Structure 1
Amino acid sequence: MDKQPDRLPPLNALRHFEAVARQGSFASAAVDLHVTHWAVGKQIRLLEDWFGVPLFERRASGVVLTDEGAGLLDDVSGAFRRLSSAASRVRGDAAVRRISGRVRVNVLASFALCWLLPRLADFQAQFPDIDVRVSTTSRKLRYIGDAYDIGVRSGHEAGQAVQSRALMADVRLPVCSPTLLSRLPIQQVADLRHHTLLHSASTRAGWSHWLDAAGAAELKPARHVEFEHAYLQLAAAIEGLGVALVSLPLIQRDLAAGRLVCPIPAPTWRADDYTLVTHPDRADDPAVQAFERWITAMAEPEGVLKTSRP
């Protein structure tokens, strides 16, 4: 029997392709895969030669998928997800549950309260023998030494003592309580002049960016109120004290429960991505790796954010 031609592209090259597409640069993909920038470039060239078409446009700021590359990414990402699911089934829950240890997780306070803690029971159910210790600070993780194993920050963290990669996008929109909206309707951006705009100390420039993108840079609201922390700003919005510009990944549960609504669906403002940071001395620890896989899987659905409006 004649040998059938190989219809599968080099699988290791596909893994490198997916990492570059996800990270947006060869350098970031190299960090993610724990290989050199040169090794990533070699695998991408190998894959492009195999297909006979360019998969990325090389730019000074990074790389962008070509039309062929974007089409390939959809299939590759789906195949990797199915393969991961199949591997988990074969390994079985017993193998997962045998992982034990301790993970020290350091995150922003607002991220802890609004995103991590509501989901943490899922991790504990999957890994009952892993002790998770959560702490909060806004300091750069490279400045807190060995006091963490894995963390989440806003924006890229650089330095020899950290390994970081994008976790999920931070997309922001104005939100308010349904009660406030029924009392003072918001049909267009100009209606915000009748409302109190809520700010936090760490995001005080957010409204200026959003209003400028909305073509209303000169808008004067009825009042400004600032809170020390973003989670206090969010709580104030839920209580009907005003309109807040908040991170959509942090409020998906509030939107689903009807505690908050997004009266103006556009434009969105893209803040710095949430970044997952791993201490290099703990990157190979099975408990840390389990938490990294779990939080990455939990963050993936946030790529398609849902807003609601009455």
Structure 2
Amino acid sequence: MPTDDTSPANLPPLRAIQAFEQTARFGNLARAAEVLDLTPSAISHQLAKLEAMIGRQLFIRAARGVTLTPVGEQYLKDISGLLHSLEVATERATSDVSLDCLRLHSSPSFGLLWIMPRLEAFRLSHPDIQINLSCSYESLHFSRDKIDVDIRHGEPNWPSYEVRTVRNESFAVLASPKLLARRPIRSAQDLLGSDLILSEATLLKWPAWFAQHGLARPEQPYTLSFDRSYMSLEAACYGLGFALESSLLAQKYLASGELVEVSPQTLSAPVAAHHLVFPKAHSSFPRVRRFLEWMEGELGHRFDF
């Protein structure tokens, strides 16, 4: 009677492939064992079985963990897409076709300030799609965490995935009208002695911004610093200082007049900070295609491929 670990002679057991992928991901047998609900010795056994079948060493073992050999790196690249395709096929077979749930993950500020105000518009234009939105700075695993599209903040360095970059985003000096009336700004130099709010997680921060204008960073400490853009924007609304933030994220504040851009023609800088990231297989999902088309309409531009 065959066991569920049995495969055709020319195919490795699925359990061995899973052990290989998770060990490669974490560089640690114990972490891989935890994810797969196995013991580290069972993981080690599966890896040894896979290496024996291939006839090549896939990992370099060390006291602190394991690293992939060049053969292992290539093998991981070759099988990752196949495993994801298998997961997608299984999901399709087991899902309720009457419910189409678009599962989004987003960096916190983009999710709160850009996605959230537009959810009603998406729901009205696509009433047959249910949305699940989660927000964090974590790097989630698409299949394990059941994510269709991840809206990430940072440099677009994800070669294994499809990436659609949000264009026409710029970083601007933002302030409340009350603060500007009290502290007029005519040039970048005027900001050196001003109360500045530091956003710790943004791609463009005050030191680099001042450098772009040929100035050294301010000697005085920042008035406030935050690890979330929405907190920096809220603090700026209260007149607590000048924020260097994305005008894309600040749209509702600018529209309401709570914040204004300070000399946008001279003090703003273009930036590509937000990206829609997803496995290539997900581009075949109608819900993902419709979401991407809707995003293009809301942003006013087509994504670059």
- Please state which band the TM-score falls in when normalised by the shorter chain: 0.5 to 0.7
> Does the CA-based 8 Å contact 2:165-2:272 persist in structure 1?
no
Deviations 1:173-216 (A, max 9, x none): 11011111112221222221342111122138611111111222
Query: Cα–Cα, structure 1 residues 284 and 205, in superposed 2: closer, same or farther, change >3 Å?
Result: closer
**Which residue does the alignment assign to 1:279?**
279
Aligned: 1:233 with 2:212: no
- What is the count of residue pairs matched by the alignment? 205
- 1:153 is paired with a residue of what secondary structure? strand
Query: Cα–Cα, structure 1 residues 249 and 289, in superposed 2: closer, same or farther, change >3 Å?
Result: same
Rounded to whole Å, the distance in 1 between the matches of 2:212 and 2:102 is 40
Query: Cα–Cα, structure 1 residues 104 and 217, in superposed 2: closer, same or farther, change >3 Å?
Result: same
The correspondence of residues 134-283 of structure 1 with structure 2, limited to 5 A, is 134-141=133-140, 145-154=144-153, 155-160=155-160, 162-203=161-202, 206-220=205-219, 223-265=222-264, 266-283=266-283
- 2:260 is paired with a residue of what secondary structure? coil
Rounded to whole Å, the distance in 1 between the matches of 2:182 and 2:156 is 41
The answer to which of 283-292 and 135-144 deviates more is 135-144
Structure 2 regions of 5+ residues with no counterpart? Answer: 1-97
**Which residue does the alignment assign to 2:127?**
128
**Which residue does the alignment assign to 2:33?**
none
The answer to which of 148-157 and 244-253 deviates more is 148-157
Structure 1 regions of 5+ residues with no counterpart? Answer: 1-98, 304-310
- 1:298 is paired with a residue of what secondary structure? helix
The structure with the greater share of residues assigned to helix is 1
Query: Cα–Cα, structure 1 residues 223 and 281, in superposed 2: closer, same or farther, change >3 Å?
Result: closer
> Does the CA-based 8 Å contact 2:192-2:217 persist in structure 1?
no
Rounded to whole Å, the distance in 2 between the matches of 1:158 and 1:142 is 13
> Does the CA-based 8 Å contact 1:184-1:194 persist in structure 2?
no
**Which residue does the alignment assign to 1:49?**
none
State TM-score, norm by structure 1.
Answer: 0.60
**Which residue does the alignment assign to 1:291?**
291
Q: Which has the larger radius of gyration?
A: 2
**Which residue does the alignment assign to 1:108?**
107
> Does the CA-based 8 Å contact 1:198-1:224 persist in structure 2?
yes
State TM-score, norm by structure 2.
Answer: 0.60
> Does the CA-based 8 Å contact 1:142-1:159 persist in structure 2?
no
> Does the CA-based 8 Å contact 2:103-2:132 persist in structure 1?
yes
Query: Cα–Cα, structure 1 residues 223 and 201, in superposed 2: closer, same or farther, change >3 Å?
Result: closer
Rounded to whole Å, the distance in 1 between the matches of 2:256 and 2:302 is 17
**Which residue does the alignment assign to 2:49?**
none
After superposition, the CA RMSD in angstroms is 2.7
> Does the CA-based 8 Å contact 1:148-1:279 persist in structure 2?
no
> Does the CA-based 8 Å contact 1:153-1:277 persist in structure 2?
yes
Q: Find runs of 4+ consecutive structure 1 residues off by over 3 angstroms.
A: 140-146, 218-224, 270-273
The percent of aligned pairs where both chains have the same amino acid is: 29
Rounded to whole Å, the distance in 2 between the matches of 1:301 and 1:239 is 33
Deviations 1:44-65 (A, max 9, x none): xxxxxxxxxxxxxxxxxxxxxx
Rounded to whole Å, the distance in 1 between the matches of 2:172 and 2:196 is 12
- 1:119 is paired with a residue of what secondary structure? helix
Letter in 1 for 2:246: S
C-alpha displacement of 1:106:
0.6
- 1:185 is paired with a residue of what secondary structure? coil
Letter in 1 for 2:156: H
C-alpha displacement of 1:225:
1.5
Rounded to whole Å, the distance in 1 between the matches of 2:263 and 2:224 is 20
Query: Cα–Cα, structure 1 residues 143 and 151, in superposed 2: closer, same or farther, change >3 Å?
Result: closer
Deviations 1:154-176 (A, max 9, x none): 2314143x221212243101101
> Does the CA-based 8 Å contact 1:164-1:278 persist in structure 2?
yes
C-alpha displacement of 1:223:
4.0
Rounded to whole Å, the distance in 1 between the matches of 2:187 and 2:302 is 26
Rounded to whole Å, the distance in 1 between the matches of 2:223 and 2:195 is 6
- 1:134 is paired with a residue of what secondary structure? strand
> Does the CA-based 8 Å contact 1:190-1:219 persist in structure 2?
no
